[in-house]
Amino acid sequence: MGSVGAKDVPVLLSPEGLRIDGRRVDELRPIKIKAGALKHADGSAYVEWGENKVMAAVYGPREVHPRHLQQNTKAVIQCKYNMAAFSVDERKRPGLDRRSQEISKVIAEAFESVVFAEEFPRTSIDVYIEVLQANAGTRCAGLVAASVALADAGIPMADLLPAVAVGKAGGAIILDLKKEEDNFGEADLPMALVPQSGRLVLLQMEGHMTREELAKALDMGVAGCRGIYEVMKQALRDRYAVTPGPEGSA
Amino acid sequence: MSEEVTSEILTTHILDLAGKGKRLDGRGTDEYRKITVEHGFVTSADGSALVRIGDTAVLSGVKLEPGKPFPDTPNAGVLTTNAELIPLSSPVFEPGPPQPGAIEVSRVVDRAIRAAETIDLTRLCVTPGEKTWVCYVDIHVLDHGGNLIDAALLAALGALTHATVPAKRFGIAAEDYPLEVLHYPVECTFVRLGETIMVDPTFDEERAAQGRLTIATDETGRIVAMQKGLVGAFSPDDIKAMVERAFVHGDRMRLIAKGGVA
C-alpha cells in the first residue's frame, strides 16, 4: 500500500517463489517467546518475532482507573498498545496517535472475547504492549505477547490467542509479512484465532484482494496461527513445568 | 440502574428473536433498512451528502484547500478523513477528544477510500513538492441508530462524487472543476447474534452482538478493507459467506450513492 510516489520497489517474490528473506510463501519468521519477562508485573511476556521485539505486561484484576469505566457484572479489559519513539526508522512522535488507539481497541475486544471477565466484577485487567523494535506485524506480535502475559498472570481464559498477518505481495498470498512486504505489497490482513473454536476474534484488512485470494489468505492465516499456538504453549511450559520426576514426564 | 436493566432485557429479547431468524423491526436477516442519500446538503462545503440508513443519520462534508504535499510523496495530494461522534447524536456519546469508537470509524472509512483509489491523489498535485490540494473528508454522526461505518463511508462517497475543486477561489485555475472519482468503495457491516448473522445492525442489535464484521468492496470486485469489531468471533466460513453478501449489498448501495434509485 501507499505506493504513491514510491521508488525502488524491491523484488518481493523470486521466480523460484521465494521471498525477500528467502522464506516460502507460507513460512513464518523465527519466533521466540519468553513468559514472565518482567519482575514487577502480575504477568508478562517478551516476544522476538523476525526483527520485531515486543514486551507485554498485565496488571490486575485491580481497581478501575478511571473509576467511571467500572462495570458491575464483569472486569473491564483496558489495553494500551504503544510504539517506542526509536522502534521505527524515522523517529515516531511519542504518545497517543489514532493508529495506536485503534489497535488498542481491537486487541482489547479480542481479549474480551476469551477472558472470563465475569469472574472479576468491578475490576480492571490492564494490558500494556510496548513495541521496542518494529518490522511489520507488531499488532500480532503484541497480541501474542499479551496473551502469554495474561496466562502468566493467571487470568482465566477460554484459550490463548495466536495471531498473524497474511498479505499479498508480488501477486502472491504470503504468511507473516516483513517490512518490505508490508510497505510495497498489495494487502495486509492481520488476524487472531481462538484455536479451540476455530473462530477469529481479530480481523482487519488494508489494501485489496479478490474474494478467492481472501479465502486462501484466511486458510493460510488460520494454519499460521496454529503454528504460533504451539510456540506460545511451549513458552508457558518452559516457565511453569516442574522438574521432571523419575518417570521423566515433562 | 434502569438503563442497565432495560438493555439486559432487550438484549435477551433480540437474541431470542435472532434464534428464530427474526428481528425487532421485522426485517429479514439479510435486509438493510431504507437508505437515502441527499447530495449537496451543506452548500458551504465543496461537496456534501446526508445519508440515512433507517434512523441513523450521517452528514459528510468535503473541503479542498491548497497545502503542502508530504515530503515522502511529493507528487501526491493529501487526503484526511475524520469522524466525529458528537454528543448531539446519542446519549452514549460525551464531549471531549475523539474516543476509540470515533477513531475506528474514521480509520476504517479512510482505509476503504484509500485502498479503492477512490480519487487519484496524483491529480490533486499542483506543483510537485510544493503545492497540492488537501482533501478533507469530515464526517458528523447526527443520529446514532447503529451501523455508523456503512453510513459514514456512504456519506463520504456521496460527498466526494459531487465535490467541486474550488480552483477559481484559490486562484489556481480559471474555473472550478468537478473532483474526479475513479472507484466506488462501499462498506457492508454484519453482526453475529447467537449463531445468526445479520446485516445492517441497529444500535440495540450492535449492543447485543457477539462480534461485528465490516467488509468494504468496490465495483471492480475487490475487497478493499475489513474490520472486525466488538467482542466476539467469526469462523472463516462465516466470513467467506459474508464477503459474498457484501458484494451484493455493495452493488446496490453504489447505485444509491451515485444518485440512482434504491
Q: Are strands B212-217 and B186-193 parallel, antiparallel or unpaired?
A: antiparallel
Please report the pLDDT score of residue A245 as a whole number.
Answer: 65
Nearest to B85 by CA among B167, B146, B21, B161: B146
Contact B236 A72 (CB under 8 A): no
Q: Count up the domains in chain A and report the number.
A: 1
Q: Whole-angstrom Cα distance, residue B88 to residue B102?
A: 14
Calculate what percentage of chain B has a pLDDT beyond 70: 96
B-chain residue closest to A76, CA distance: B231
Q: Which chain B residues are Cβ-neighbours of A5 within 8 angstroms?
A: 72-76
Q: Whole-angstrom Cα distance, residue B66 to residue A68?
A: 43
Q: Whole-angstrom Cα distance, residue A240 to residue A33?
A: 14
Contact B100 A194 (CB under 8 A): no
Q: How confident is the model at residue B3 (pLDDT cuts 50, 70, 90)?
A: low
A-chain residue closest to B69, CA distance: A5
Q: Is residue A102 part of a domain?
A: yes
The reply to whether B136 touches chain A by the CB within 8 Å rule is no
Is the domain covering B27-257 a CATH 3.30.230.70 domain? yes
Per the structure block, which three cell numbers stand in for B141? 454522526
- State which residues form the domain around A226: 31-240
A-chain residue closest to B218, CA distance: A208
Q: Whole-angstrom Cα distance, residue B188 to residue B199?
A: 8
Using an 8 Å Cβ cutoff, are B29 and B198 in contact?
Answer: yes
Contact B107 A99 (CB under 8 A): yes
Contact B73 A5 (CB under 8 A): yes
Q: Is residue A5 part of a domain?
A: no
Whether the pLDDT of residue B5 is over 80: the answer is: no
Per the structure block, which three cell numbers stand in for A193? 484465532
Q: Whole-angstrom Cα distance, residue B112 to residue B223?
A: 9
Q: Is residue A4 part of a domain?
A: no
Contact A72 B104 (CB under 8 A): no
B-chain residue closest to A194, CA distance: B233
Report domain extents, chain B: 27-257
Candidates A206, A209, A222: best to mutate against B (most CBs of B within 10 A) is: A206
User: What average pLDDT does chain B have?
Assistant: 92
Task: Extract the residue ranges of chain A whose pLDDT is less than 70.
Answer: 1-7, 244-250
ipTM greater than 0.90 = no
What value, to the nearest 5°, has the Cα angle with vertex B261 and ends B255 and B262? 80
The reply to whether A207 touches chain B by the CB within 8 Å rule is yes
pLDDT, tens digit, for every residue of A105-121?
A: 999 999 999 999 999 99
What CATH number is associated with residue A169? 3.30.230.70
Q: Which chain B residues are Cβ-neighbours of A113 within 8 angstroms?
A: 211, 231-233
pLDDT, tens digit, for every residue of B160-200?
A: 999 999 999 999 999 999 999 999 999 999 999 999 999 99
Please report the pLDDT score of residue B52 as a whole number.
Answer: 96
Task: Please name the member of B114, B223, B232 whose beta carbon is closest to the beta carbon of A205.
Answer: B223
| SS3 call for B125 | strand
Element counts in chain A: helices (H) and strands (E): 4, 9
Using an 8 Å Cβ cutoff, are B175 and B168 in contact?
Answer: yes
Whether the pLDDT of residue B94 is over 90: the answer is: no
Contact A200 B103 (CB under 8 A): no
Per the structure block, which three cell numbers stand in for A127? 494490558
Q: Which helix (H) or strand (E) holds A57?
A: strand A52-62
Contact A4 B107 (CB under 8 A): no
Please report the pLDDT score of residue B84 as a whole number.
Answer: 84
Candidates A203, A212, A216, A219: best to mutate against B (most CBs of B within 10 A) is: A203
The reply to whether A69 touches chain B by the CB within 8 Å rule is no
Q: Is residue A12 part of a domain?
A: no
Please report the pLDDT score of residue A247 as a whole number.
Answer: 61
The reply to whether A214 touches chain B by the CB within 8 Å rule is yes
Rounded to a whole number, what is the distance in Å from the CA of A249 to chain B's nearest CA?
36
Q: Is residue A134 part of a domain?
A: yes
Average pLDDT, integer, range B110-125:
95
Q: Which chain B residues are Cβ-neighbours of A105 within 8 angstroms?
A: 100-101, 103-104, 229
Q: How confident is the model at residue B6 (pLDDT cuts 50, 70, 90)?
A: low
Task: Please name the member of A194, A206, A218 whose beta carbon is closest to the beta carbon of B225.
Answer: A206
Using an 8 Å Cβ cutoff, are A196 and A159 in contact?
Answer: yes
Please report the pLDDT score of residue A5 as a whole number.
Answer: 45
Q: Is residue A20 part of a domain?
A: no
Contact A1 B235 (CB under 8 A): no
pTM of the model as a whole: 0.85
Contact B221 A210 (CB under 8 A): yes
Q: Which chain B residues are Cβ-neighbours of A215 within 8 angstroms?
A: 236, 240, 243
Q: Is residue A7 part of a domain?
A: no
Q: Is residue A186 part of a domain?
A: yes
pLDDT, tens digit, for every residue of B199-221?
A: 999 999 999 999 999 999 999 99
Largest Cα–Cα distance in chain B?
62
Using an 8 Å Cβ cutoff, are A192 and A140 in contact?
Answer: yes
Task: Please name the member of A106, A198, A214 whose beta carbon is closest to the beta carbon of B223.
Answer: A214
Contact A203 B111 (CB under 8 A): no
B99-106 long-range contacts (CB < 8 A, ≥24 apart) are: B100/A101, B100/A102, B100/A104, B100/A105, B101/A105, B103/A98, B103/A101, B103/A102, B103/A105, B104/A102, B104/A105, B104/A106, B104/B227, B104/B229, B105/B139, B105/B141, B105/B148, B105/B149, B105/B152, B106/A98, B106/B81, B106/B82, B106/B139
Q: Which chain A residues are Cβ-neighbours of B113 within 8 angstroms?
A: none
The reply to whether B68 touches chain A by the CB within 8 Å rule is no
Which residues of chain A from 219 to 238 reach within 8 Å of chain B, CB to CB?
Answer: 219, 222
